[in-house]
Amino acid sequence: MLSSALTIISFTYGCVAQNSNGSIAFENLKAKQSSSVVLIHDTATIAPVVPRLNYINPKAVKDFKKTFKGVRDEQWYGMQDGWRVNFQVDHVIYRVDYNKKGYWLHTVRCYGDDRLIDEVKALVATNYPDYIIRLVEEIDAGYTTSYIIHLEGKAYWINLAVCDTEFRELEKSDKY
């Protein structure tokens, strides 16, 4: 299960905005173009913002409006293989991807550890007791939900992939 989840994870990018003091900031999505934003796994090609919804596959727009009722400040982007929608609700940053035919592919939610489910939080705490969860990327692909957990320790940053009760370190880097 973890390997199939990692396929999805490999196509995601982080929603990480870091302040000068190292803490995570949940800024407006427009701020993602500033130099204070760190893209973690950006492997997708994103075109400029699509100016009008009538250029986007109507099936994608209909699905988005049905699934995310009440969202008004979304930003649509054209990609080589479909469409991406970014928006923020209640301090959660969302990224929803659709293919060219307008079919939903997956949703990525970025948030702090306070919204992480207890089961995953306990798994991380047990295996990384000296680390703090700085950011969570929850990837909903319909058939499974997986997580990329960004951890901070005294000497290292770790990006951890979690699916069910399996986990794997994706990246470990020195802080200094």
pLDDT in tens, 113-162: 999 999 999 999 999 999 999 999 999 999 899 999 999 999 999 999 99
Residue 110's H or E segment, with its range, is strand 104-111
- pLDDT of 112 > 50? The answer is yes
Distance of CA 138 to the CA centre of its chain: 6
Q: Which CATH class is domain 2-174?
A: alpha beta
Model pTM above 0.85? no
Distance, in Å, from the CA atom of 76 to the CA atom of 147, rounded to the nearest integer, reads 24
Q: What is the rounded CA–CA span in Å between residue 69 and residue 143? A: 22
**pLDDT tens-digit series, residues 9-64:** 444 444 433 333 333 333 332 323 222 223 333 334 455 454 466 678 999 999 99
Containing H/E element for 5?
Answer: helix 2-9
